[in-house]
Structure 1
Amino acid sequence: MPRPRTHDEALRLKLLDRAGELISADGPKALSLRKLATDVGTSTTAVYSLFGSKPDLVNALYVEGFRRFGERLRAVERTGDAVADLVRLGVAYRESAQADPHLYAIMFTRSVPGFEPNAEADRIARTTLEPLEEVIREGISSGQFADVEPAVIVVSSWGLVHGLVSLELSGNLPPEFSVSGAYEQALRANASGWLTSAARNR
């Protein structure tokens, strides 16, 4: 009988999640491959077999974060209402960050000094915002959103959700501020601000 594979996808994901947790809790210096292997109950040989070097492991973390993020955005159902769809994508953005906070910092803050994603990782990261770009382009072409350069709305909308989510995850929001109550309000106000006069009067 063939020997069972022990260095499988399940182990790879366990190692990635634990590596992200170590960096998130104690900084990049906490990422020892020996400690990582011990924490997950495997060997350093398995870590090297699955990822290669420590920089390769960090690159894999970056890719995994954007893979999960992209899946959540692509799973958002479209309604044809540009404002509603933009709000839904913003909600999915926050849910993704809450589900994987240990990956969020690696994705957006480059929390590992000197780390630069390779070309393939960079390409994957860039494609994750395609659902946002599609909704905005459709909103402009349908006459719902103002006829401006799509990138203006994309970056403005992204900046709003990223800023609020980052403040929430870092614990830097005022204690009296209820994110759950205000987040969707902020998203809707931003999206509605891009509506044309005709769309507002429908």
Structure 2
Amino acid sequence: MKILIVDDDPLVGQSLQLLLNKEKDLTVIGNVTNGQEAIDFCKEKTPDLILMDIQMPVLNGIESTKIIKRTYPIIQIMMLTTFKDARNIRLALKAGAEGYLIKSNSIEKMAEQIRALQSGATVLTPDVLQTLMQQGKKGLEQLTDREVEITTLVGEGLSNKEIAKQLYLGEGTIRNVISTILDKLEIRDRTQLAIFYWQKKHNDT
């Protein structure tokens, strides 16, 4: 797998490159220090995966992730950061990142999660999931009763058509309400909304 490392600390980037290159199936093909350099790199070469820091000069990791995923959707992006707050996690997932790792993870764990991401899994380590679960109750407080009701039905697997029929509303109305819910909760899509619902349900039991 060809990897691009994006981190504003050159020492961190060089250390990761040295350690990851020891893995037989991983090859670091680039090492840049901000989001704009990552975008420019992707114009010249196409990595399979980007390890992306969040807080960087010129262009941060979340904004550059949005641009890269819009232009090169085939490239997978794993956020690799010291920030474990729910807001950054949700913004990163909404931007299109398929994974979110904390830098304190061992290189062995990091390599394992990179391979999991390559196989198609969304990679959220237990500490990241715990942060999201703790945020669940607070997140729902932003929603109206109707929005909570629709979130519950999405979580239970109902389609927009089925929700509309059950609530005696138009499908267009349901789409608009779900869009509003996603914006409020800073969630990327209805799949992430369903995950959010079940995390909240689990957290309350």
Greater RCO (CA < 8 Å, at least 6 residues apart): 1
Instruction: Give the TM-score normalised by the residue count of structure 2.
Output: 0.27
More strand by share: 2
More helix by share: 1
Instruction: Give the TM-score normalised by the residue count of structure 1.
Output: 0.27
